[in-house]
Chains A and B, each alone.
Chain A
C-alpha cells in the first residue's frame, strides 16, 4: 500500500483481491427506508427459507409404498403431464423467499423476496476492507428485499370489499375488526380462542361494542344489548351516533342477507323506500300462499308468483328476524349459491326491509328469512348460549331451506292453478281487470267474485293509489313496452309494477302478470342462469 502525500490531497492505493476459495455466498438484504431498521439493535435473529410454495410434490407418498404401483406412478404422472403440455416450474430452493424473525417470537418478522434481474447485465461486488488494508471483493449472489410482516389481523379480500362498500356509512372503524373476531369466534370456538380473548379485550375497551346487527329504535335497547353483548356476540354501532346506527344496522342486516348488493346498482332503488310500509298488508297474504302449490312452480312464470309469495312470507318472517338476528356474514356466504326462487324472495324481502336508501338488489342471500321462520327457536336458544347457534343452525339450514322452498313451491303452484281455473272459466278477475285497465272504460263486468273485482275495478277510472306520481298500471301495453326495450326476468317485471303503484295486491299482480305474459308469449333466453323474457317488434 503506497501513500503519496499531496498538498491538499492525499491519495492512497489499496490492493483489491477477489478471494477464490470462498464457500460463503454473499447476498444483499435490503430493507425499506420507511421501516427504519437498525440491524445493530437486534439481539437475536433467525432466518430460514419459506417453503410454502412447495406444492409440486403434491401428495407425499408414504414409505411403505402404499400409493404407487411399481412401474412408476411418477413416470406415468410425468408422461401424462407431458402429454397435456403441463409445464410445472421447478421448485428451486435458492429462489424461495426468506423468513427472518428478529428478537424471538415477540419481535419483528420479515419476508425477503428475491429480486430478479440483478445479475443479468452487471455484477455487484461487496468490497470489504481487510485488516491489512487491502480490499476484498465478493460477488453478490442474490438480492432480497425484506418487508415487515403484519402481525395484526387483516381483512380478507372479500371482507375488504364489503367494508369498502360501507365506507361512507361506517364511522367506527374499530368495530370492523372486532366484529370479524367475534364472527370467527362464533364460527369456531375451538379454533379461535385467541381471537375470542382478543375480542373480549377489545370489547372491554369499548364497552362491548360490535357484534350482531340489530335494529333498535330505542336507546335503552342499545344499552341493554351492550350488557348482553358479551354473551351473545355484542352490538354493532353502540358507539356510533344513533341515527348512523340505524343506518348501519339496517345495512348490516341487509348485508347479512345479500352480500355485495351494495356494489350493484339497482334501477329501482327509489322504490325500496316504500316497501317497508307494506308490512301489514303482506302479512295477510301469508296464509293463502301456503295453498298455492307446485303447479305454479312448474309453469314458466313460476318465478313471478313465487317471488311475491316468498316476499310476503319473508316480510313477516323478517320481523321475527329483526328480533332474532345474528350477524350473517357466514350465512351470506352460505346463501350465495342458493336457487333463484329463493333469491327472488330475498330480494323482495330485503327491499321491503331496508328503511335506508341503500339499493336492494337481488343477490342470492337466499332466504335467511326463509329459514329464519323455521329456526327462530333455534336462534333464540343460540343467542343465550353465546352465539353457538350459528354453527348449530348452519348444518340445519340447507335442509330447512329445501323444506321452505317446497312450501312456497306448493303455494306458488296452487296459486297458478287458481289462476288457471279463473282463466278457463273466463270469469277470472285478472283478464277482466286487465281489460278494464287497458280500455279504461266501464266494460261489461263479467261475473266476478266481488272481492277481487272490487279491488281492481275502481282502479282505472280513479287511478287511485300511488303516492308517487308515476302511474304504472299493470297492462299488457306496459309489459310489452318493457319487454321490447330490454330482456327482463319476472322479478324485474314485478319490480316495475309495484303493488303500491298499481293498487293491486301482490297476489293479484302476480296473477295479472302471469296472464299478460301468457298472452304476449315472449321469447326467452337464459342470461346468467336467469330466465329473461323479451319481445322483438
Chain B
C-alpha cells in the first residue's frame, strides 16, 4: 500500500531542458484530433540578434473546427500563433511522469515558459464571437409544463401498487418448512459469509417461516440485543470458526 516508488532521475541528471507552453483551449482540442504520426504543425524559430521569435503554424488539416456545432463550418481555427517567451525566474519547475504501472520518472527541468497566442485576425475574431455566444447562453431554462404539480390526491380504496404487491405475495405462497438439517446447513453457510444477521435477512435467505427459523436459531445461535450489532443473531461461540479467510467446517 505504501510502496514508495523509486523515482527515475535520469532526466534530472542529464538536465534535460523542456519548454512549458500554455496553449489555448481550442488549439488543444485541435491538437487532440491529430492523426497518423501526430504531426500538428510547425514551429519556426527566428533568431534575431540575440532575440528569438518563435511562432507556431497549425497544419492545414487541423483547422476545421467541429467543437462548436453547426456554425463551425464557416469559421476556421487560426493558423499562426506567435509564442510569447518568458523566463522561468527563480522558480524550479520539474517535469515528472507517471506510467500506468505506477512508475515515476523525472523527465527534465523547465528552461523556458511560453504562451501560445493566436495571431489576431478576422478569423480569430469570428471564432471568439462564436465561443462567447455559446458561453453566454444561460444554463437554466424555463420550460412550460403540461400538468401542474399537485399533492392533492383522490382517495382510493386500494392503491395500484398495493394490489400488485398483495397478488405477488399470494402467488409466492407460504413458506414451507424444510428439513431441519438442511436449514442448519443453509444457516451455517450464511454465517460463513457474515457474522451478524438480522432475523428478517435470515428469513429471506432461508425462505423458512419465522417461528421455525427462530427455533433452530435458538439452538445454534445467540441473539444480540445490545451492543454495536443491535438486534442480530450470531452463531454460538462453539460453532464459530472465524479466522482470516479460512472457513472451516463448524462443529455440529
Contacts and interface: CB of A to CB of B under 8 A. Distances in A.
A and B: bona fide binding partners: yes
Interface of A: 6, 8-20, 23-35, 37-40, 42-48, 51, 62-71, 100-101, 121-128, 135, 137, 139-140
Contacts of B23: 122-125
Contacts of A23: 99-100
Contacts of B204: 71
Nearest to B97: A24
Contact of B38 (A10, A17, A48): A17
B104 interface: yes
23 contacts: A18-B38, A23-B99, A23-B100, A24-B98, A26-B95, A27-B95, A27-B96, A30-B92, A31-B91, A33-B90, A39-B92, A47-B7, A48-B3, A66-B196, A69-B201, A69-B232, A70-B198, A100-B7, A122-B23, A123-B23, A123-B25, A125-B21, A126-B107
Given A31-B92, A42-B9, 8 more contacts: A17-B34, A27-B98, A35-B92, A45-B9, A48-B5, A51-B1, A125-B23, A128-B107
Contacts of B5: 46-48
Contacts of B7: 45-47, 100
B40 interface: yes
Given A51-B2, A71-B198, A124-B20, A63 B108 contact: no
Interface residues of B, number: 74
Interface of B: 1-7, 9, 12-13, 15-16, 18-25, 28, 31-32, 34, 37-49, 56, 89-100, 104, 106-110, 114, 190, 192-198, 201, 204-205, 229, 232, 242-245
A123 B28 contact: yes
B16 A128 contact: yes
Nearest to A102: B7
Contacts of A26: 95-97, 107
Nearest to B233: A69
Contacts of B193: 65, 70
Contacts, number: 206
A42 B3 CA distance: 20
A123 B242 CA distance: 54
B94 A29 contact: yes
Contacts of A69: 194, 196-198, 201, 229, 232
A71 B38 contact: no
B22 A124 contact: yes
A531 to B, nearest CB: 39
Given A48-B5, A128-B107, A13 B42 contact: yes
A137 B43 CA distance: 11
Nearest to A39: B12
A20 B204 CA distance: 53
